[in-house]
A and B are shown apart, each in its own frame.
Chain A
Amino acid sequence: DTAVSQTPKYLVTQMGNDKSIKCEQNLGHDTMYWYKQDSKKFLKIMFSYNNKELIINETVPNRFSPKSPDKAHLNLHINSLELGDSAVYFCASSQDLARISPLHFGNGTRLTVT
């Protein structure tokens, strides 16, 4: 069973479109995250939710809106896509907010905006 699963794996779309990425974890974790990995492999946190509550919202354009319907799901909706949004987006989860809790990552969604 996949612990953290994201869909779709690949997403190709045109500038200006709106798209969503879904994430689910079956680990019973309280905390979920979205990370963005750019073409140089640099990983940057975007959002973090704990028990459906937004905890971290880094300096991300407000075109990005996360939604957590329950603590096992964290979806990412992106409006008015731009070329610079092209990246790999990773969902992750951890047992709790404690800084010692390791992260479990999904396999990523490769977003290409043309």
Chain B
Amino acid sequence: AQSVTQLDSQVPVFEEAPVELRCNYSSSVSVYLFWYVQYPNQGLQLLLKYLSGSTLVKGINGFEAEFNKSQTSFHLRKPSVHISDTAEYFCAVSGGNTPLVFGKGTRLSVIA
């Protein structure tokens, strides 16, 4: 079975500063990795996904993530955040016969 750990429950950051949201996973099979974003009072939207190939994946809104198999990590980064990036971010993993498993989320708060 897969599991996901998001190491930070809250991350405050100043506007235009860089940010990294950490995600580690565990699995006994090959995995597919996703980051979703949830804005207040909305459902989740896909930010980016890693399926295979290049370990650096780019997503919407200037976000990118790097798959690191040896460290079983899939950290999300953005070089310069905006107020509008304030939201809850979820890392998720799927693979084998199990459905998508979500981490507990990281609340990103961008401060003006």
Contacts and interface: CB of A to CB of B under 8 A. Distances in A.
Contact of B51 (A41, A43, A45, A100): A100
A99 B29 CA distance: 12
Interface string B27-48: 0000010101010011111100
A44 B41 CA distance: 18
A48 B81 CA distance: 35
Interface in A38-81: 40-45, 48, 56
A107 B41 contact: yes
Contact of A42 (B42, B45, B105): B105
Contacts of A48: 99
Chain B interface main SS type: strand
Interface residues of B, number: 23
Interface of B: 32, 34, 36, 38, 41-46, 49, 51, 88, 90, 94-96, 99-100, 102, 104-105, 107
23 contacts: A33-B99, A40-B104, A41-B88, A41-B105, A41-B107, A42-B104, A43-B90, A56-B99, A90-B43, A90-B44, A92-B44, A99-B32, A99-B94, A99-B96, A99-B99, A102-B46, A102-B49, A103-B44, A105-B45, A107-B41, A107-B43, A108-B42, A108-B43
